Structure 1
Amino acid sequence: MMSRRRIVVGAAGLGALILILILWRVFFAGGDEPALLTADVTRGDIEQTVEATGTLEPKEMVSVGAQVSGRLETLNVEVGQVVRKGELIAQIDAQTQTNTLRTAQAELANMQAQRASQQATLAKAELSFRRQQAMVPGEATSMADFEAAEADLKSARAQLAVIDTQIQQARVGVNTAEINLGYTRIVAPMDGVVVAVVTKQGQTVNANQSAPTIVILAQLDVMQVKAEISEADVIKVDAGLPVYFTILGDADHRYNASLLQVEPAPESIVDEVNSTSSSSSSSSTAIYYNALFEVPNTDGKLRALMTAQVSIVLARKKNVLLIPSSALGAKAKDGTYSVRVMGAGGRMEQRQIRIGINNNVSAEVLSGLKSGEKVVVGQATEATASSNSGGRMGPPPF
């Protein structure tokens, strides 16, 4: 009987324990505080930047065109070729310009011959006038003959002046024809590299309306980067700030430079001026301002129209206390921020700190924290709760 009673009592006790565990699970376990993620207060470098997308362009780029019409007889360059200033690039058929020059030269020669003839006429008129003038005192001639000789002299002089003017016009015509003949020789206006050939050999060009482009020359030893900065960021940017960029083909290499200028108006201002509905277009279109800087290209890796991922450095500090920006709480009126600090034994405390640079990833700590302390950055998920260095917060299990 005693054995049976002990068994009954033991079974009842075990049942009660099981019931207590079930009740705890139901009413208490679900109320555990969520696990928290923490991060160490560390030392490191931080910078605040404005990010932009830019385009690489040659510092100097010239479209070499034709100023006269005609067939392109020879093309002496190809894409990628290095040329020097004054070097012959192409030759346009010069027959028309040559004939025009010969016609102008013949016209000049004709005017010069007429001038020689008119000079003889003037000399004859001067002799006749002097004879009449000498005979007037002795009344050996009539006043009518004297006045006629004087009029002939004036007419001869005027005619010579007209011919002199025509000679000047003819000389201008010869000079213009010589220039146009020289335009049939397309020469390089500067040292550079041929980056594009627009007109092919044998093609006819027409310069009556606009100068057709033959080739495009560029100087590639220095590249200019034109970065588009949004209107929200442009007020933070000034000339002289350090800047760096990477290209898509070599994201690990940074090119460093200094910002030269920020253009005062966006490129779209031209469209705005020409548009009849500028007010409606400006309200729906994003506004970007061009920031310009230059970078050496001695190895030739940088090419025209490459895309550059640009970072303009607004502030930069080295070896300072850092915490994740996600650890920052509300900003107080005195400029401090609240953070939750995890102490020994999982004890958490609220603390006010002052920060410096904040790039939305990391924040510089000016005061309120020490290196090695832990700050709470958020709640852990089920996957990260087991690895959380701060441990779980809540009632311990039975």
Structure 2
Amino acid sequence: MSIGALRLFVVWVMSGMLDGCDGSKGEPKYFTTTAEQGKIVGKVTATGTLSALVTVQVGSQVSGRLKEISVDFNSEVKRGQVIARLDPQLFEATLDQARASFMAAKAELDVAEIRALEAERQARRAKELAEKKLVSEADLDTAEATAASARAQVEAQKGRLELSKASLKQAEVNLGYTTITSPIDGMVVSRNVDIGQTVAASFQAPTLFVIAEDLRKMQVNTSVAEADIGKLSPGMRAEFRVDAYPTKKFEGKVRQIRNSPQTVQNVVTYDAVIDVQNPELELKPGMTANVTFVYAERDDVVKVPNAALRFRPPQALLARGDGGAPNNARDKADGRRTVYRLANGNLEPVVVKTGLSDGTNTELVEGPIKAGDVLVSEVTMPAEPGSRGMGSGTLRRSF
């Protein structure tokens, strides 16, 4: 403790001892507030994170070395626009090989069909000669077997041709995969590769870019406590601020309240999604938003500070006959509470029914309290005469 602070503490202690030993009865010191008439807004607060409505991870279907990158961070892209290319040499060679294999298979099919036609002709000739007893039955059987074998060779070669055709198609597709295009209109928010880097797509397509769809429309994903989630509904207005622009207020509307609970350390929350317009691109993905949901508004109502609703007279004050009968039972279920009005220096307990609260003030829907009435929020009790305490008693509020 500094010397200055120590001196102040000693002075405060001595003044308290003198007040306690002067033999006077002393009076309680009241701290008051005033009932007002005006507007009150019911709010629920939460924190959330800004994100794009749609985010797409762009990867590579094939492995290879990056030869060209056409975009960078924050680049705006269109659907189908080329954003990167892999070195195509290996894939071009594979395509040439597949094309040659296809042509060879097609030629072999042509040869097999010619052989089959010749075998069929020989079989028919052998049959005619066998009917004239000019060749043996064995020669006829051999000719027919040769024709059947030739037909089978044609079918087998057709299968090889289809296989070669499929290999050619795959080679063409893989060559096309070396040209990487944007799947959506949007903006590049992440680039994870550089020119010359080798991309390996053996087990899982690597993420080369992350593209967000139109950052002029974003969303805030918020976590709302289970005690407050019932106050929210789709279409409700929401306000929020971000640390980047602490003096600027942004607005949005609740689009969705998700039913899936999130439990962290026995605290249950629910996700509420807010649609936000971002025409100036001031908001960026990942920003933390301090959100206020406006679930109700009341105009021209009598409202009192919550401190007045929390106040309860201390027992010492009640023992002196001030403050009326203690009302410790707060029937919060139907909104009935007790406030203490200060009239002619005395406490007057008043039962009221409360309504909407904004966290600082609460609406009064029933009761004799009117705008301008003075209500007690705290009290300081004097020390008993002759006591060696610190003078004043503690502030008494009920929370």
Alignment of 1:144-159 (within 5 A): 144-159=138-153
1:89 aligned residue: 83
Partner of 2:40: 46
Judge conservation of contact 2:78–2:186 (CA < 8 Å) in 1: yes
Partner of 1:180: 174
- Aligned-partner Cα distance in 2 for 1:81–1:296: 20
Cα offsets for 1:62-92 (capped at 9, x unmatched): 2222222222112122222212222221111
Q: Deviations over 1:320-344 (max 9, x none)?
A: 211011212552376421111223x
**1:225-270 residue CA offsets vs partner (Å, 9 max, x unmatched):** 11122344445444333322111122333222222223333567xx
Question: What residue is the counterpart of 1:317 in the other structure?
Answer: 298
Please say if 1:133 is aligned against 2:127.
yes
> Does the residue aligned with 1:320 lie in a helix, a strand or coil?
strand
Q: Which moved more, 1:107-116 or 1:84-93?
A: 84-93
2: CA distance, partners of 1:263 / 1:335: 30
Correspondence 1:73 to 2:72: no
CA–CA separation in structure 2 for the residues paired with 1:101 and 1:354 = 82
Q: Number of paired residues? A: 343
- 1:351 equivalenced with 2:327 (yes/no): no
Letter in 2 for 1:146: L
Amino acid at match of 1:305: G
Please give the alpha-carbon distance, in whole angstroms, between the structure 2 residues aligned to 1:94 and 1:259.
48
- Tell me which amino acid in the other structure corresponds to 1:262: I
Q: Which of these residues, 239, 242, 250, is aligned with residue 244 of structure 1?
A: 239
Match of 1:328 among 288, 309, 320: 309
Q: Distance in 2 between matches of 1:350 and 1:266?
A: 43
**Equivalent residue runs for 1:237-316 within 5 Å:** 237-266=232-261, 284=265, 286-316=267-297
Query: Is residue 208 of structure 1 aligned with residue 189 of structure 2?
Result: no
| Distance change (3 Å), C-alpha of 1:266 and 1:367 | closer
Determine which of 184, 191, 196 is the counterpart of 2:190.
196
The 2-side partners of 1:148 and 1:121 are apart by 15
- In structure 1, C-alpha distance between the alignment counterparts of 2:175 and 2:136, rounded to whole Å: 59
Percent of residue pairs bearing the same amino acid type: 31
| CA offset digits 1:265-290 (Å, max 9, x no partner) | 3567xxxxxxxxxxxxx7x4644432
Larger radius of gyration, structure 1 or 2? Answer: 1
Give the SS at the match of 1:199: coil
Letter in 2 for 1:29: K
> Superposition RMSD on alpha carbons, in Å?
2.5
Q: Distance in 2 between matches of 1:360 and 1:81?
A: 44
With the length of structure 2 as denominator, give the TM-score of the two structures: 0.79
Give distance in 2, aligned partners of 1:381 and 1:110: 107
The gaps in structure 2 that reach 5 residues or longer are: 1-17, 311-328, 383-399
Q: Which residue of 1 aligns with 2:341?
A: 341
The aligned amino acid for 1:366 is: V
Judged with a 3 Å threshold, the aligned counterparts in structure 2 of structure 1 residues 261 and 334 are, in CA distance, closer, same or farther, namely closer
Is residue 15 of structure 2 the alignment partner of residue 28 of structure 1?
A: no
Residue 378 of structure 1 aligns with an amino acid whose one-letter code is: E
3-state SS in 2 of match to 1:124: helix
Cα-to-partner distance string for 1:322-370 (whole Å, 9 max, x where unaligned): 1011212552376421111223x33432211111112442111101122
Deviation at 1:197, TM superposition (A): 1.8
Q: Residue 335 of structure 2 contacts residue 355 of structure 2 at CA under 8 Å; is this kept in 1?
A: no
Deviation by residue 1:20-50 (Cα, 9 ceiling, x = unmatched): xx9x9844334x2x22122222122222322
Q: CA deviation at 1:137?
A: 4.0
Pair 1:221-2:221 in alignment: no
TM-superposition CA deviations, 1:107-159 (whole Å, max 9, x none): 11110010000010110111122223334444443332222222222221111
**Code of the aligned partner of 2:287:** M
What is the distance in 2 between the residues matched to 1:264 and 1:251? Answer: 31
